[in-house]
Structure 1
Amino acid sequence: MSLFLGATLLAPLLAAAQQGRQQPITPVPNPGPQTAQPRTVPPGPALSLQEAIRIGLENNYGIRIAQRDEQIARNNVTRGNAGQLPIVNGNFTRNYTINNVRQEASNRPEPSVAQGARSNQLNGNVALTWTVFDGLGMFIAYDRLRTLEAQQQQFTRATVEQTIADITDAYFAVVRESGKIRAFEEALKIGQARIDLTQAQVNVGVAAKVELLTAQVDFNADRSALIQQQELLATAKVNLNNLLSRTPATDFSPADSIVVTNSLAREAVLQGIQQRNSQLQQARLGVDIANFDRRLIAATRWPQVNLTSGYGLNRNVNGAAFFGGNLITNTGRTQGFNYGVVATVPIFDGFNRRRLEQNARIAIEQSQLRLDQTQLNVNSAAEQAYLQYQNRLQLLQLEEDNIRLARQNVAIALERYRLGLLAPLALREAQRNQLNAEARLLDARFNAKQAETVLRQLSGELVQEPTQAR
């Protein structure tokens, strides 16, 4: 009787197992392409990396401030600002006076008195001053202004490069977090399949209810992890919107996946650093500016020759003049043209010029030291970045090979569990291994792309030409 009862209870499970052997193998779990929209995240407008960079370059506050500074530097590059053009000033003066006058004379017994005598004076002139020689200081000053403009252009370029690098990292961070959400969604599908299979086993009496409860607990743990991952994705989107100077709540879906270039050569990177690195360019221009400052001080040792010219009009109306005992009004007017040459020869200034020249030479040494330090720092950063780039490419290849194994392992484990040939703990372990492998693969792609971006930034490939002020 007991044998008959046992055979009766096992018959449905054996039939199910037999049907399972006749069914095709469970497909390999795959979270899908990187740009696929997660099912648990509301869809948003598609945003490509190129569009994100365009928006960032237009709206980023740091770039806009740097562009205004560049525009100021460009406006300063004029002949007049360098002192090569004449200066013309017009002056006008109009004075009114009211006087009480008392005048005494030896030939008059009584003094002459005037109350409220009115007088006025008008003076107008146009004066021109033109420096025709100052030890070539005006030409040195003009070259210095042009160098300052070039230095500000390199600063703007560096700001643009850093912004592009930040936007690129932030954009692919969104892609990475979206991919992790899809990995959790795949894990939930596997967890639900496990619950359904365990429920069937409980129904036929070949599995204890504790196994079903364990499957449900693991499923809820994956749901909790998915909720936390959704928060990380929302934070990544806020960070990108901040770089794009957009409203933090602006929703979007990344349209580009993480594609890593594996062909960057070390020699090409080092050559690009020497030719286009904005930090090095700024430091080199700093040396040139320091040399211009020293030459400007040396130019002050030469005489300065100015040409002067002008035209003036002077008119006086004196209402308090006496002629004998009579009060009369005296009017005078002078007008005419003047011109001349003014030469200033420096003789002694308390040794201040020598002090300034000594300080200028020290400033040149400082700027050269900054250039050497910048060269060393950039070369060190390039070596470190290239080493990271190579290592992360190797890790990426390893994780891409590993993810295929993990997905096949989960597919086989799920099939064996459906047939009753695998313990629940082993299936859960395979599921965790796949989830961890998906996360490591996404992190490896992101880290490799980040190293590539750093190399392109150091070699000046992110921005080919200096950005013009808007």
Structure 2
Amino acid sequence: MSYIKKITIVLVIANITFVNAQKILTKEEAIQQALEHNYGIKIAKNNVEVAKNNASVLNTNHLPTVSTSAGANYNNSNQDIVRQDGSATSETGAETKSYNASVNLNYTIFDGLGRKYNYKQLKETKNLTELQARETIENTYLEIFDFYFQVAQLSENTENLKSALQISKSRLERAKYQYEYGQNTKLEVLNAEVDVNNDSINYINAKQQFVNAKRNLNIVLGVSQGVNYEVETDVVFSKLLNLEALLNKAKANNVVLMQNDKNITISKYSIKANKAGFLPKLGLTTSYGWNKSINPSTSFLAESSTTGLNAGLNLTWNIFDGGSTKTRVANAKIQLENQEILKEQQVNIIENTLTNTWEDYNNKLFIYNAQQQNLDTAQNNFDRTNEKYKLGQVSSIEFRQSQINLLNAQNELNVAKYNAKFKELELLQLSGEILNIGF
């Protein structure tokens, strides 16, 4: 069996895998699957739920505590007693029994405003966790599109290689006919066979890369849907604002800067919560209880029982705690200053990154348009060369070079297209708009 026939059999088997690949995984479906199944997003959502639980009034000491207790005691002892009048009594095995039960309530009326600002801290921490989840989703968006565009690019490259293979096969058949009729040499046939073999190998490798890219995309989506699907290859570029407008949007909506703002707010509340140590605390304690005791004959009372309410207020003021509160407040102020410095640093980083990305985006758009012109030129050149080759006016070497130039132009256009679109998505993320993109 000839090598070309072996290659043909391999290609037929490979095509069986894709013959039913009619399902289109759209960009919207990919995003929706990731929001439901991506592992990182699931964890981020769970972290938000934990933060919500922590920010509940049930976790801030604003509510009173209620407890109940009950007990019983038994004592058996030998007793010898002498009364004030001089009489004496002795009893062996004197038993004493006591019982008690109570319901207790404790409530902190005022704690120096500490719990108030701790509660506000927890609320802001919950908001910070939501922003962290949003950042995870934004990063996942970019990761999804990165893998999605890889699949799309390999899809188009595979189709281009398939078309190139068909052209090479047609050229081989033409060379065989011409050789049979004495119109060319065996060398032309051998050259055509080599090109068919090379194109077949490239096509098989491209199909394997295509399948592998789909599996990688499935991992990011968090689903097990096999590889029997296609993706969209059309790309629509958004009409972005100018650089200044994007910078303004970034300062207002960038998720990292918004997290910096939350950290600053949390630090301010931390200072106020620590200052609570300078103020007094007022608490309420109350209980409703029942007590009963059964005494031996040596006791003045044979039996007693009490039921009633007990309540009280307690005021504590730690006039001097060794300086620990002062130290905590000072450290909290330093932490606030650090957060403000980090915010200033992050603003500079984002401005610089956004400016660089903006320029890179415009360069990639220019490259994309230039590659489109290159493709038009390469296609025109190939069409002309193909006609001349059929008329015997150009050699097979010139034809092959024209074919390779066309394939390279097609692949380079695909690379430029997806590079430019991905850079646009990076701009949208920096400006805080990636979650609002349309497809």
**What TM-score comes out, normalization by structure 2 length?**
0.89
Deviation of 1:155 after TM superposition, in Å, equals: 0.8
Pick from 377, 397, 400 the counterpart of residue 369 of structure 2.
397
Match of 1:418 in 2: 390
Deviations 1:124-154 (A, max 9, x none): 2222222222332232222222211111111
Match of 1:244 in 2: 221
Match of 2:187 in 1: 210
Q: Would you say 1:48 and 2:26 are equivalent positions?
A: yes
Using a 3 Å threshold, how does the CA distance of structure 1 residues 351 and 173 change in structure 2: closer, same or farther? Answer: same
Deviations 1:353-411 (A, max 9, x none): 11111211111111112212222222222112111110100000001111111111112
Residues 303 and 345 of structure 1 are in contact (CA less than 8 Å); yes or no, is this contact kept in structure 2?
A: yes
Residues 151 and 285 of structure 1 are in contact (CA less than 8 Å); yes or no, is this contact kept in structure 2?
A: yes
Rg larger for: 1
Which stretch shows the higher mean deviation, 63-72 or 391-400?
A: 63-72
Aligned to 2:69, the other structure's residue is in SS state: strand
Deviations 1:305-342 (A, max 9, x none): 12332212222234xx2349xxx993322221122221
Residues 101 and 289 of structure 2 are in contact (CA less than 8 Å); yes or no, is this contact kept in structure 1?
A: yes
Residues 90 and 124 of structure 1 are in contact (CA less than 8 Å); yes or no, is this contact kept in structure 2?
A: no
Residues 80 and 88 of structure 2 are in contact (CA less than 8 Å); yes or no, is this contact kept in structure 1?
A: no
Q: Which has the higher helix share?
A: 2
Aligned to 1:258, the other structure's residue is in SS state: coil
Q: How many residues align?
A: 420
Pick from 429, 433, 438 the counterpart of residue 461 of structure 1.
433
Q: Which has the higher contact order (CA 8 A, sep 6+)?
A: 1
Residues 260 and 445 of structure 1 are in contact (CA less than 8 Å); yes or no, is this contact kept in structure 2?
A: no
Deviation of 1:102 after TM superposition, in Å, equals: 4.8
Deviations 1:210-255 (A, max 9, x none): 2101111111101101111111111111111111111163421114
Using a 3 Å threshold, how does the CA distance of structure 1 residues 111 and 157 change in structure 2: closer, same or farther? Answer: same
Aligned to 1:135, the other structure's residue is in SS state: coil
Residues 88 and 126 of structure 1 are in contact (CA less than 8 Å); yes or no, is this contact kept in structure 2?
A: no
Which stretch shows the higher mean deviation, 333-342 or 297-306?
A: 333-342
- Structure 2 distance, partners of 1:291, 1:89, is 33
Q: Would you say 1:270 and 2:247 are equivalent positions?
A: yes
Match of 2:305 in 1: 333
Pick from 73, 79, 92 the counterpart of residue 113 of structure 1.
92
Deviation of 1:299 after TM superposition, in Å, equals: 1.9
- Structure 2 distance, partners of 1:196, 1:368, is 73
Match of 1:231 in 2: 208
- Structure 1 distance, partners of 2:162, 2:367, is 25
- Structure 1 distance, partners of 2:374, 2:334, is 59
Match of 1:174 in 2: 151
Aligned to 2:302, the other structure's residue is in SS state: strand
- Structure 1 distance, partners of 2:231, 2:324, is 63
Using a 3 Å threshold, how does the CA distance of structure 1 residues 329 and 402 change in structure 2: closer, same or farther? Answer: same
User: 1:428 is aligned with what amino acid?
Assistant: R
Using a 3 Å threshold, how does the CA distance of structure 1 residues 39 and 262 change in structure 2: closer, same or farther? Answer: farther
Pick from 292, 298, 305 the counterpart of residue 275 of structure 2.
298
Using a 3 Å threshold, how does the CA distance of structure 1 residues 463 and 331 change in structure 2: closer, same or farther? Answer: farther
Residues 77 and 95 of structure 2 are in contact (CA less than 8 Å); yes or no, is this contact kept in structure 1?
A: no
Aligned to 1:322, the other structure's residue is in SS state: coil
User: 1:297 is aligned with what amino acid?
Assistant: N
Match of 1:19 in 2: none
- Structure 2 distance, partners of 1:170, 1:273, is 25
Which stretch shows the higher mean deviation, 432-441 or 338-347?
A: 338-347
Deviation of 1:187 after TM superposition, in Å, equals: 0.6
Pick from 64, 75, 86 the counterpart of residue 53 of structure 2.
75
Match of 2:5 in 1: none
Using a 3 Å threshold, how does the CA distance of structure 1 residues 40 and 100 change in structure 2: closer, same or farther? Answer: closer
Pick from 122, 134, 141 the counterpart of residue 99 of structure 2.
122
Q: CA RMSD in A?
A: 2.4
Residues 170 and 236 of structure 1 are in contact (CA less than 8 Å); yes or no, is this contact kept in structure 2?
A: yes
- Structure 2 distance, partners of 1:82, 1:40, is 60
Match of 1:387 in 2: 359
- Structure 1 distance, partners of 2:62, 2:73, is 39
Aligned to 1:93, the other structure's residue is in SS state: strand
Matching of residues 141-156 of structure 1 within 5 Å: 141-156=118-133
Structure 1: gaps (5+ residues)? 1-37, 466-470
Matching of residues 307-322 of structure 1 within 5 Å: 307-318=284-295, 321-322=296-297
Aligned to 1:349, the other structure's residue is in SS state: coil
Using a 3 Å threshold, how does the CA distance of structure 1 residues 266 and 39 change in structure 2: closer, same or farther? Answer: farther
Deviations 1:65-107 (A, max 9, x none): 111211222223333433333x132222222435343536697
Deviation of 1:268 after TM superposition, in Å, equals: 2.7
Q: Would you say 1:97 and 2:97 are equivalent positions?
A: no
Deviations 1:233-283 (A, max 9, x none): 111111111111111634211145222335442223212211111110001
- Structure 1 distance, partners of 2:266, 2:89, is 77
Using a 3 Å threshold, how does the CA distance of structure 1 residues 147 and 63 change in structure 2: closer, same or farther? Answer: same
Match of 1:8 in 2: none
Match of 2:110 in 1: 133
Residues 106 and 284 of structure 2 are in contact (CA less than 8 Å); yes or no, is this contact kept in structure 1?
A: yes
